Amino acid sequence: MTPLRAVKGMHDLLPADIHRWQDLESRFRATVQRYGFGEIRTPIVEPTQLFVRSIGASTDIVEKEMYSFHDKADKSLTLRPEGTASCVRAFLEHRMSGQQPTQRWYYLGPMYRRERPAKGRYRQFFQAGVEVFGDPGPYVDAEIVEMLVGFLEQVGVPNVSVAINSLGSGTTRERYRHALLEYLTPHREALSADSQRRLESNALRVLDSKAPQDQDIVREAPRISEYLEPDDAEHFRQFSECLVALDIPFVVEPRLVRGLDYYSRTLFEVRSDSDGLGAQNAICGGGRYDGLVETLGGPSTPAIGFALGIERVLMASRSAVAPQTADAFIISAQPELRTEALLVATELRNAGLHALADLRGTSVKSQMRRADKSGAGFAVILGTDERDRGVVQVKQLEDQGQQHEVPRHALATHLASKARM
């Protein structure tokens, strides 16, 4: 029989590796909570139309990468490829616009895109993201970029660089699309097949193409900054100025468009040149999507957000996180003392300590070996003689530590005082 394996591009996260994830997640929660964000958890499966209508029918994600299927009632459902569309759906479904003038949400969770797996590019990957509804910016735009950069520094991502651009709004996009079409059409034959197709459906996507033959052509393309309406240009100027005031270094990339159609005005991408990352050096992307709530049937609501790829942040990060180790490993000198060992372990756990025990009834030598390997601070040894005298032996496991007797009733307090040292 062929062995069963995880789906290509999807990975198990084993207990030995999880502490870095948990550390990153708890730092993310702590950071965003300081900025007033509350957590939202949306379903992993959504109606396919949600993504088609928000991300855009002619994007790579919708055209090629979604895990879509029909359920037993013949409804087309999709494993979410990103979190923004689901947040907007929830925002509308729960009539949030009628509640607070602004909403600040954050989320953590798996996303699914059927991309070609590579280092840093997976088919199931995890994002941590935020969305702000109801604030037209540009100050909140700078606020979330500042929060993001501060977070990445805190978790040890080296050489973070921020690229920004503005896609303008309404008429800007339309005028720019025309200019782009005018420039690209004479080069049509030289473009990749994907870009030729997109020329009509979504010319801006051509700027995002990774095909080398497209990139040479795109390099000379007109810049959107030359087409910004005065209020879009002013928005972008204030956003940039605010980043300067907050001391956040950035570069303006006039051809940054990113792969989702819902963006308008502010757009940003954060990269790191950490050795840990391969070609996939974009660790976070975000931007404004002022028209999306309306597109999906709600009232006009400005919004902005970002999402970072947790795997990529962990690959880029240089900070090591020590796994949590136990305070005590309980050893029963005789197999009949296993209930006693369990009682002692329970007592210590109830006192808030981290206690381990090997309850299989193996030899003391083998239990000691496991205690040493576990990284626990102390071994607590129970023997019949000690039980009768109401004491236990406590042995420090590191540095050839000493062993001494502790009254059984004082064990938890004794270990707790050592754990605090």
Binding site for ligand HAM (CB under 6 A): 82-84, 113, 115, 121-122, 125, 127, 129, 131, 258-260, 282-287, 305-309, 311-312
Closer to ligand HAM by Cβ: residue 117 or 299: 117
Closer to ligand HAM by Cβ: residue 272 or 332: 272
Closer to ligand HAM by Cβ: residue 46 or 131: 131
User: What type of residue sits at position 80?
Assistant: R
CB of residue 127 to ligand HAM, shortest distance in Å: 5
Burial of 249 from C-beta contacts in 10 A (0-12 / 13-18 / 19+): exposed
The beta-strand segments (E) located in 215-281 are: 251-252, 264-272
Burial of 73 from C-beta contacts in 10 A (0-12 / 13-18 / 19+): exposed
CB of residue 86 to ligand HAM, shortest distance in Å: 9
Closer to ligand HAM by Cβ: residue 59 or 195: 59
CB of residue 143 to ligand HAM, shortest distance in Å: 14
Gap between the Cα atoms of 97 and 112, Å rounded: 29
Tokens read off for 290:
């002022």
* SS3 of residue 229 by DSSP: coil
CB of residue 223 to ligand HAM, shortest distance in Å: 21
Structural contact between residues 244 and 44, judged by C-beta atoms closer than 8 angstroms: no
CB of residue 305 to ligand HAM, shortest distance in Å: 3
Closer to ligand HAM by Cβ: residue 27 or 387: 27
Closer to ligand HAM by Cβ: residue 79 or 355: 79
Gap between the Cα atoms of 204 and 259, Å rounded: 10
Gap between the Cα atoms of 117 and 280, Å rounded: 11
CB of residue 113 to ligand HAM, shortest distance in Å: 5
Gap between the Cα atoms of 310 and 290, Å rounded: 26
Closest residue to ligand HAM: CB criterion: 309
H or E segment at 156? none
Could you check whether the bond before residue 138 is cis, i.e. omega within 30 degrees of 0?
yes
CB of residue 317 to ligand HAM, shortest distance in Å: 13
Closer to ligand HAM by Cβ: residue 60 or 327: 60
Closer to ligand HAM by Cβ: residue 163 or 242: 163
Gap between the Cα atoms of 25 and 214, Å rounded: 38
CB of residue 266 to ligand HAM, shortest distance in Å: 10
CB of residue 9 to ligand HAM, shortest distance in Å: 8
Residues 6+ apart with CB under 8 A from 88: 54, 131, 289, 292, 293, 296, 298, 303
Alpha carbon 193 to its chain centroid, in Å, reads 33
Closer to ligand HAM by Cβ: residue 85 or 242: 85
